[in-house]
């Protein structure tokens, strides 16, 4: 039990998953902020430019400048797609949290039996990690949520 190399690797994977979940939470917050920071001024400036342009003939230049700035912000939102990045970070966070729970469960189960963590369990956890990295986080969370095989069931 003291030489449970696989158990140490699973514990390292669990810690990595917790860290990745934290990072993806921060990424989600950033993209949510970016979406609001670009979208709200674009909408406000578009409204102001329209009102300014209609107010008088002398206000055409300021209205045009405001409209161009609003269009630039709107183009930035379209190009950067912050909402998509926000959703992806949320999905990765959920997947890493699910993987962390699976790793914790595998460690707890092995410790309760007084045995080492089976290599097959570690392989399964690594495969799930690979799925997250490959962008299959939603599929992984769905598989776990609908009662797909857990890492301990996959060993048997």
Taking only the tens of pLDDT, the chain with its 156 residues reads 446 899 999 999 999 999 999 999 999 999 999 999 999 999 999 999 988 888 888 888 888 899 999 999 999 999 999 999 999 999 999 999 999 999 999 999 999 999 999 999 999 999 999 999 998 877 776 766 665 555 555 554
Q: What span, in angstroms and rounded, lies between the C-alpha atoms of 74 and 134?
A: 30
Dihedrals phi, psi of 43, to nearest 5 degrees: -70, -45
Q: What span, in angstroms and rounded, lies between the C-alpha atoms of 95 and 89?
A: 10
Residues 6+ apart with CB under 8 A from 112: none
What pLDDT sits at residue 60?
A: 87
Residue in this structure with the two tokens 């469960």, named with its chain if needed: 105
What pLDDT sits at residue 2?
A: 47
Q: What span, in angstroms and rounded, lies between the C-alpha atoms of 141 and 139?
A: 6
Both tokens assigned to 147: 């009662």
Closest Cα to residue 10, out of 128, 93, 89?
128
Is the C-alpha dihedral spanning 147, 150, 154, 156 positive or negative?
negative
What pLDDT sits at residue 73?
A: 93
Burial string for 22-38 (b: 16+ CB within 10 Å, else e) reads eebbebbeebbebbeeb
Residue 27 exposure: Cα atoms within 13 Å on the Cβ side? 18
What pLDDT sits at residue 53?
A: 86
Quick count: other Cβ atoms within 10 Å of Cβ 127? 12
What pLDDT sits at residue 1?
A: 44
């Amino acid at each position: 039990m003291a030489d449970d190399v696989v158990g140490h690797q699973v514990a390292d994977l669990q810690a990595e998953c917790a860290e990745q979940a934290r990072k993806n939470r921060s990424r989600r917050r950033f993209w949510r902020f970016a979406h609001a920071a670009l979208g709200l001024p674009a909408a406000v400036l578009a409204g102001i430019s329209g009102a300014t342009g209609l107010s008088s003939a002398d206000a055409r230049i300021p209205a045009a400048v405001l409209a161009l700035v609003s269009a630039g912000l709107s183009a930035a939102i379209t190009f950067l797609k912050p909402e998509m990045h926000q959703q992806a970070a949320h999905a990765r966070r959920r997947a890493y949290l699910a993987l962390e729970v699976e790793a914790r469960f595998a460690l707890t189960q092995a410790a309760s039996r007084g045995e080492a963590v089976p290599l097959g369990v570690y392989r399964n956890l690594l495969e799930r990690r690979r799925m997250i990295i490959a962008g299959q986080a939603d599929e992984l969370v769905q598989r776990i949520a609908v009662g797909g095989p857990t890492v301990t069931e996959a060993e048997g």
